[in-house]
Each structure stands twice: as structure tokens, then as C-alpha cells.
């Protein structure tokens, strides 16, 4: 070897643990689901058929401003990352953990104009909330509502859609994305019935009759 040749550097390559491999598979699968939802939302025309199935407190995200649509997409990605951590670690990650891993919208993005959000995690029994509170009074507040299954209660359907996500252990979650522009001041309690507190539930495709069918993993 020439004297002036650069020294070789040894790098240790560690094998992924089974949990890490499962988490990667989970992320890949659910990322495909999100992309399919977003694709369908963009190709469903004016969404007339989907709107017919909506209740008064529900709306399609494509009817909202661009900034809200971006937040909605990031929340779908953030929720799926949180579900992956819940599947492998057995506990829901805090907003701080998600932010430290660079997961939007929990991680602050200095390139985004508009309101900045403070995220909190609240839990009561089988229900939990990720709540995003804006620093501007005119910006909407955001809510990810997750309902874990009650012990011994079978799932109400056998496939995933916008409102049903399956964890790696087979547990099926009920999930929803909500926003609110005004209403009573938020407290620290967990929100379990957003529709009676002035929240609006948002969808990429639509409720119940969702055409995306992903069989359990």
C-alpha cells in the first residue's frame, strides 16, 4: 500500500432486530395505504358521491384550504408512524419522541408559513388524543382521536380503511382526524365525542363506504 494512500475505515453493520424489521414492514404497508387514499382523493372528481354519505359534522379534506390539506396529509403520516411505534414498543410515543424522530407535523418545519403548533398526548382508558394547539387564534386546532379495542370485544370489520387501522398484534383501532376553528376553550381532558363539541371530522375519501380495502397484515 502506498504511504500516501488513505486509511481504510471499518464500519460495524448491525443486523436489524425482529422488532425493527417488523416496524419497517409496517411502515411500508401503511405508507402504501396513505398514498392510495391520497390518490383516490385526487381522482374522485368533485366528490359528489362521497359527500352524499357525509354527516353534518363531516367533510372531505379537498374542500378545505391548501394549508389544511397539508396538515391533514402530515397527520396521516404521523399517525401511522405512531402506530408503528405502538406496535413495536407497546406504548404510544409522545409528541416529543415523534418530533425527535423528525416526523411531521410534530417536528417543526421552519419552511412552513403560518401557525406553529404545540402538540400534546392525552389518554383515558382506551381512548387517546394527539392535540395540536396553534399559536394563532385564527388557525384551526387539530385532533387525532384513537380508540383502542376494549378487551374481549371483537373488531367490527375485517379490513383497514380510513377509520380502522390494524396493529401488528392484530388489534384494530378506530381512528379519526378532526379540526376545530372555534368553540369552548380546550381543557386537559380526553376528547371522546368530538362531534358534539364543535369539531369537524375530515376524510381523504369518505366514511364507511370507503373503496380502499386493505386486508389485515
DSSP state of 119: E
What does each of the 217 residues of the chain score in pLDDT, given as a tens digit?
555 555 555 645 555 565 556 556 655 555 555 555 555 554 554 555 556 679 999 999 999 999 999 999 999 999 999 999 999 999 999 999 999 999 999 998 888 888 999 999 999 999 999 999 999 989 999 999 999 999 888 888 888 889 999 998 899 999 999 999 976 678 889 999 999 999 999 999 887 554 433 333 3
- The torsion of the CA quartet 51, 197, 176, 77, rounded to 10 degrees, works out to 110
CA distance 212 to 117: 31
Q: Cell numbers of 138, please?
A: 385564527
Domain ranges of the chain: 18-203
pTM value is: 0.77
Amino acid at each position: 500500500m502506498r504511504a500516501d494512500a488513505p486509511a481504510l475505515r471499518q464500519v460495524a453493520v448491525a443486523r436489524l432486530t425482529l422488532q425493527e424489521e417488523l416496524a419497517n414492514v409496517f411502515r411500508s404497508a401503511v405508507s402504501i395505504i396513505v398514498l392510495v387514499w391520497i390518490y383516490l382523493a385526487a381522482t374522485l372528481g368533485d366528490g359528489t358521491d362521497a359527500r352524499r354519505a357525509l354527516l353534518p359534522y363531516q367533510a372531505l379534506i379537498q374542500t378545505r384550504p391548501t394549508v389544511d390539506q397539508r396538515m391533514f396529509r402530515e397527520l396521516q403520516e404521523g399517525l401511522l408512524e405512531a402506530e408503528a411505534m405502538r406496535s413495536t414498543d407497546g406504548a404510544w410515543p409522545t409528541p416529543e419522541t415523534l418530533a425527535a424522530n423528525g416526523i411531521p407535523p410534530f417536528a417543526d418545519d421552519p419552511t412552513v408559513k403560518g401557525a406553529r403548533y404545540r402538540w400534546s398526548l392525552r389518554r383515558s382508558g382506551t381512548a387517546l388524543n394527539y392535540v395540536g394547539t396553534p399559536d394563532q387564534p385564527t388557525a384551526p386546532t387539530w385532533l387525532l382521536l384513537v380508540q383502542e379495542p376494549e378487551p374481549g370485544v371483537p373488531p367490527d370489520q375485517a379490513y383497514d380503511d380510513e377509520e380502522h387501522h390494524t396493529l401488528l398484534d392484530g388489534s384494530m383501532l378506530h381512528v379519526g382526524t378532526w379540526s376545530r376553528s372555534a368553540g369552548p376553550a380546550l381543557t386537559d381532558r380526553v376528547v371522546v365525542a368530538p362531534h358534539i363539541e364543535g369539531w369537524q371530522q375530515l376524510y381523504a375519501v369518505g366514511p364507511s363506504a370507503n373503496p380502499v380495502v386493505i386486508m389485515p397484515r
